[in-house]
Chains A and B, each alone.
Chain A
Amino acid sequence: MNNLSIEIQDNQTAFTPGETMQGTAQWQLDDIPKSVTLNLLWYTQGKGTEDVSIVESIHFDTYAPTDQKPFSITLPNGPYSFSGKLLSIIWALELIVDKGSECHRQEITLSPTGQEITINTSSATV
């Protein structure tokens, strides 16, 4: 049984822009993986077609079916984690084995307050 996980230091899930995130990527696989990649990405959800952007990608050189690798990523200034009426911007770490045959994803929040930015709005839609 394949098992992937991402452990972030102190189980932190909220980060401020520019903060460095440290953690460990772990996997237990039945077969030797051809590639293991950790992506830092944001994607959108809502009324529009989804957009995805991979901000940083770490490729682990490994030939072991069970392994763990530390990582350290400095988060960018933006975009902030956001939810409005039409779109949400969601940040995530994603561990991918063999171009997506196995995947584990962990959402994080990026904003100065550590909270997702939300809007209070009038009911006007243009």
Chain B
Amino acid sequence: MKSKTKSHSGYTGSKLDLTGFHLMFLLFSLALTSIIGLSFIKIFKTYFWEKTHCTILSCKIDHAYKTESSYGIDISYTYTFNGQSYTSDIYQHNYQGSSDYTEIKQIVDQIINNTQVNCYVNPECPQEAYLTRESLWRDGSAILVCQIFTAIGVGGIVFTWRKKNPKKNESNKPKPKSALVTKWYMKPLKISSQHQDFSLNNKRPDSIILKSDSSAIKNLLGGIFATLFWNGIVSVFLSLVLDSFEKGEPNWVLTIFIIPFVLVGLYLILVTFYHFLKLFNARPILTLTPGVTPLGTTTELSWTFRGWMKFIRHLTITLSAREEATYDQGSSSKTDKHTFYEMELFSTNITSEMTAGKVKCAIPQDCMHSFQAKHNKIIWSINVKGNIKLWPNISSKFPFTVLPTDPSDDQ
């Protein structure tokens, strides 16, 4: 009981680290949201102001508005509200002007030529009036982008405190000692506390539906998350660059600096789009009968597809086995894969043959069965490949367990 409490408090240490990290995201997004939010609320309120007829007293182009290279609108207008006359010189709340002379001239001409001009008056403070209202779109979208960071912060904190320590149970069990662990190597090798079950007698399901090792939706969601996260950050700097160009004072250093980041962002968009298209691919459903496949036996593989099939030009189903070795010395882990067995089970370019079918799948006798340790694996899988013209191809791997030869079958 004591060790249980200890282990919990120990694990809390790394949880606090993660919480701190995600809290920074959360605080950053909350600060940004409140700054933009205040501006948004101010603009939003103007939509409830009263539309009132006004008379333009003067309207001309301001040639040095805020900076020397930007143009603004120098305006003065009078309006009557609740029987009292007021004058205002504000064109729009927080108006930044423009470096485009033609654009400003067009607005000024429009105001001068229009006989029916209205302004928006704050009913609570009639001295305050704007000739036009600012769009809610810019600040609204900025707030939405900020919510990505909020989601990362909140999600990260929730995930950190909800996830269980995977090694908790393992570490509480007494581990057997081996001289291999203490004598040959410096590092304590991880002794598998769970032995892989190679018994053949307990489970003999009639059939088994195979699961793909990748999910189109998961890939898409991952792509969306990565794209939003990356481009969300890049967009902040990109808007600064665009602003500098708009004002006619291009920030070339930032522009050159940001180009590779924008390219990565575009690549992520393309990858996400690729996964989005893949979502519409037909999904293979594979069944093995019988569900237990020892070495040297033949099992029946049946398949059907869910979704559109008619665009698949060529379908191939193969049986393969591969070794996987993960090496985690130093600061990174690397996994090498090597396919040592590959057998084509089915191949066709006739659509009617693709939609569903059955094929015998013989597992070779003199081969290696499935094996799974922490760093080393032998994985058997059925691979489905469908070629589609001008569309992402179908490519799914369905791992399954090949057991050692059944000793009771030996004749």
Please give the residue numbers on chain A whose beta carbons come within 8 Å of chain B beta carbons, in ascending order: 16-18, 37, 39, 41, 43-44, 46-55, 57, 76-80, 82, 84-87, 89, 94, 96, 99-100, 103, 105, 112-113, 117, 119, 121-122, 124-126
- Scoring B176, B192, B198, B337 by chain A CB atoms within 10 A of each residue's CB, the highest score goes to B176
Whether B366 pairs with A113 at a CB distance below 8 angstroms is yes
Tell whether B308 is near chain A: CB-to-CB under 8 Å: no
Q: For chains A and B in complex, what number of residue pairs have CB atoms within 8 angstroms?
A: 156
A89 to B179 CA separation, bound complex (whole angstroms):
17
Tell whether B211 is near chain A: CB-to-CB under 8 Å: no
Whether B323 pairs with A86 at a CB distance below 8 angstroms is yes
Since A82-B368, A119-B341 are in contact, a sample of 20 more A-B pairs with Cβ atoms closer than 8 Å, ordered by chain A residue number, is A17-B198, A17-B404, A49-B327, A49-B375, A50-B375, A53-B373, A54-B176, A54-B191, A77-B200, A84-B378, A85-B323, A85-B340, A86-B337, A86-B338, A96-B177, A100-B181, A121-B340, A122-B342, A125-B337, A125-B339
Given A113-B366, A117-B368, A122-B342, answer yes or no on A77-B336 (Cβ-Cβ < 8 Å): no
Tell whether B306 is near chain A: CB-to-CB under 8 Å: no
A96 to B177 CA separation, bound complex (whole angstroms):
9
Whether A47 pairs with B327 at a CB distance below 8 angstroms is yes
Whether A46 pairs with B325 at a CB distance below 8 angstroms is yes
Whether A84 pairs with B177 at a CB distance below 8 angstroms is no
Please give the residue numbers on chain B whose beta carbons come within 8 Å of chain A beta carbons, in ascending order: 176-183, 185, 189-192, 195-196, 198-200, 322-329, 335-342, 366-369, 371, 373-376, 378, 403-405, 407, 410
Contacts of B327 in A (CB 8 A): 47-49
- Scoring A54, A86, A125 by chain B CB atoms within 10 A of each residue's CB, the highest score goes to A86
Whether A50 pairs with B185 at a CB distance below 8 angstroms is yes
Contacts of B337 in A (CB 8 A): 86, 125-126
Contacts of B182 in A (CB 8 A): 99-100
Q: Look across to chain A and name the residue whose beta carbon is closest to the beta carbon of B177.
A: A99
Name 14 A/B residue pairs within 8 A (Cβ), A-sorted: A17-B198, A17-B404, A47-B327, A47-B336, A54-B176, A77-B198, A79-B404, A80-B368, A82-B371, A99-B177, A100-B182, A112-B410, A113-B366, A125-B339
